[in-house]
Amino acid sequence: MKRALFPGSFDPLTLGHYDIIKRGVTLFDEIIVAIGVNSDKKYMFTLGERKRFIEEAFADEPKIKVVTYKGLTVDFCKEIGVDFILRGLRNPADFEFEKAIAHTNRDLAPIETVFLLTSAQTSYIASSIVRDVIRNGGDYTKLVPSSVKVN
């Protein structure tokens, strides 16, 4: 069974993330969306809210599982027996950053990273942009799945 881990903070889940996960499901038997916990980071949404956004967005997709984890992504992959990390690329800067991480991960464990290019319609969307739109009262609903709701 081919399983892939799609790690991130998902603060919040965006249409870009959604697109990569939906396309990843066609390549793997299971996608584990893994929300990394970093105690040094300030999040806009709680861990519970972020997990719920993802679970609700993929409620009808049995091949997608949502978990949380702490520590190195490759260590978590080894712990749960996953051989692939799935990542999305929006632009050349993403590629250079992700390439360095992929090489480091491969040095630490026999984990392969699979890259998917984001769709043209979502390539400009980043969680940081969505948070800025939300903070400033803009219409964030065009950038995220309908499961993402701001109180």
CA distance 31 to 149: 23
- List of residues 6+ apart from 49 with CB closer than 8 A: 12
Residue 25 lies in a domain: yes
Give the residue among 86, 98, 68 at the shortest CA–CA distance from 29.
Answer: 86
Residue 150 lies in a domain: no
Strand ranges (DSSP E) for 2-146? Answer: 3-8, 30-36, 64-69, 84-89, 112-117
Residue 87 lies in a domain: yes
Residue 148 lies in a domain: no
* Whether 2 is catalytic: no
Residue 147 lies in a domain: no
Residue 151 lies in a domain: no
**Catalytic-labelled residue, pool 17, 50, 51, 87:** 17
* Whether 127 is catalytic: yes
Residue 12 C-alpha from the chain's centroid: 10
Can you give the residue range of the structural domain that contains 40? Answer: 3-142
**Catalytic-labelled residue, pool 3, 50, 87, 127:** 127
pLDDT digits (tens, 9 = 90+) for 42-86: 999 999 999 999 999 999 999 999 999 999 999 999 999 999 999
Residue 131, both tokens:
């948070």
Question: What is the model's pTM?
Answer: 0.94
Residue 72, both tokens:
């190195």
* Whether 103 is catalytic: no
Could you give the number of structural domains in the chain? Answer: 1
pLDDT given for residue 91 in this prediction: 86
CATH of the domain at 124: 3.40.50.620
pLDDT digits (tens, 9 = 90+) for 117-133: 999 999 999 999 999 99
